[in-house]
Chain A
Amino acid sequence: MSRGRPWGHRTFALGVAITASLVLTAMLSLVYTPQDPLAMSITARLRAPSAEHPFGTDQYGRDVLSRVMRGALTSIAVGVIAVGIGAAVGVLLGIASGYTRGWLDEACMRLIDALQGFPAILSALLFAAVFTPGVVISMVAIGIAFVPAFARLTRAAFLELAPREFVVAARALGARDARLVLRHILPNTLPPLIIQATTSFPVAILAEAALAYLGLGTQPPQPSWGLMLKDAQNFLSLNPWFAVFPGGAIALTVLGLNLLGDGLRDLLDPKTA
């Protein structure tokens, strides 16, 4: 492995290549798709792959390739926002826990333990019972599932860094708590948090697809890979390709992001390589 030269790191380079293709596809789908992803055609339903429809068509005659392309956008949007929610809430909880210590630390830790009992699907079930199921529920439910990991990482880093000389010195010079936390400690906790965000992103994409599949997340006619798989299940014997391409897109995306995360961890934290 060639540490320090990211492009020589095969896992990282492959991960970047796949992820870049995903992002480019999603961006391209905003301005160009081979067909309108929402346009139905009663005469072209459940077609196998052909020159006109390289990934075939769905039960309403919509072009699956165009919908897979637009679905990438949904996945990225939900993934980014869910990881953002998880990171924001988790880091705040971690700071409250690791910096203040005492009863607040104990209470935060038990809350984090309790949140670990709520995987994205369970939170989504709860929220879907009282609010209208949709993409927002997806983002919040997936975000909540990430809170414990971010909170624990932040707390651990704060526990380690708070007694260090540079923090004690800053405090002795009169720095207030907010300055100590934001200027001195938090920036030093960023590398593990960045790695956590990278490894959480593919998990968010898998969860978004699962929630959409269950009808708890993205709703029709918005293209989503999970929703497409839900539709495809009813037509497995008529057009199996319909189930292959959206699922393949999820798997390839998650593979690319995992490789990127692994590579990043090797490069940023050589101890674990």
Chain B
Amino acid sequence: MRRYVLRRVATLVATLFFVSALVFVVIRVLPGDPALIIMGTEGSPEAVARLREALGLNRPLAVQYGDWLRRALAGDLGVSIQYDVPVSRLILSRLPLTLPLMLMAATLMLLTALPLGLYAATRHRRVGDYAAMVLSQVGIAVPSFWAGLLLILLFSVRLGWVQSGGFAGWAGGVWPGVRSLLLPAVALGFFQAAVLVRATRSSVLDVLREDYVRTARAKGVSEVRVLGKHTLRNALIPIVTVAGIQLGQLMAGSIILESVFALPGIGRLALGAITARDLPVVQGVTLFVASCIVLINFAVDLLYGVLDPRIRYE
């Protein structure tokens, strides 16, 4: 297992290097002169030159990249032009919203998808299976931000049960915070669950056709044990793969849902930075989110090795 983990860590480091290079190329290289973008048309040539000097843009690109990467590794993502505070501090200040939103959505996704997928597989080509598949088709087709709007329309505008947006924070206790994240988490989690339902159903169905499952049933093992012990663990690899992809999608989806529900999280921070041409913030947020997604994929890779020992030796 140690060799497997070391190999994966080496891959992770190389992948993160490419992630940082992509972000650097788009922000610093593609536009030509980032100082001109930040200052816009209203900046005088002298002011642009001063900003270029302050941002270190006069140095060779390789030197700029090396310096930026070294600082980023130490947690220094630069200083926001708009707020004049370190970008890493801005990101950290938004995490208490984005992280719980993601966790709530991921919990809802898993709690919905796994039982429903398992149920559909055990009711193969019966009413329950067809109903679950219709639900999942609808779930995949409905965009999460439209679902968010419809939830606002129903629970906020029509019924008046919850406020339509904003974040109550955690200072007043857990419930007000959870309450303000509930609708976005539902819009995000339930609809991301749809893909996972299909993956769970198809993977469990494959395992249910295996000889060892037939043997277990022939031996008189209870159906709960057949499903829990013999089937689910062996069906987990494709499920974990799709769940990992969906977790990455949740990160991207939270950017949209934060907009729908006016939540001041990481996504709104990045969108605000675009309007304000605050390149260090955009650069920092995209590097942070992309690295998180790569780390999720890395965790999934490690999980493969735990779930199926054969993978460690390939």
Which residues of chain A have a CB within 8 Å of any CB of chain B? 106, 110-111, 113-122, 125-131, 133, 202, 206, 209-210, 213-216, 229, 232-233, 236-237, 240, 243-244, 247, 250-252, 254-255, 258-259
Contact = CB atoms under 8 A, between A and B. Distances in A.
Nearest to A117: B290
A232 B149 CA distance: 9
A73 B11 CA distance: 42
Contacts of A243: 146, 149-150, 153
Q: Is the interface of A mostly helix, strand, loop or mixed?
A: helix
Nearest to B146: A247
Interface in B9-32: 11, 14-19, 21-23, 26-27, 30-31
A113 B146 contact: no
A227 to B, nearest CB: 12
A134 B86 CA distance: 30
Interface residues of B, number: 54
Interface residues of B, dominant DSSP: helix
Contacts of B260: 233
Given A114-B18, A232-B149, A236-B157, A213 B256 contact: yes
Contact of B27 (A130, A214, A233, A247): A130
A214 B256 contact: yes
Contact of A121 (B11, B164, B255, B283): B255
A196 B21 CA distance: 28
B248 interface: yes
A113 B297 contact: yes
Nearest to A131: B31
B149 A229 contact: yes
Contact of B285 (A125, A233, A236): A125
A255 B138 contact: yes
Contacts of B152: 233, 236
Contact of A129 (B16, B137, B140, B274): B274
A251 B138 contact: yes
Contacts of B30: 130-131
A214 B255 contact: yes
A255 B141 contact: yes
Given A119-B252, A121-B255, A252-B141, A114 B15 contact: yes
Contacts of A129: 27, 37, 273-274, 277, 279, 282-283
Contact of B26 (A130, A202, A250): A130
A119 B248 contact: yes
A272 B103 CA distance: 32
A209 B143 CA distance: 8
B249 interface: yes
Contacts of A130: 26-27, 30-31, 34, 37, 279
Contact of A113 (B18, B23, B283): B18
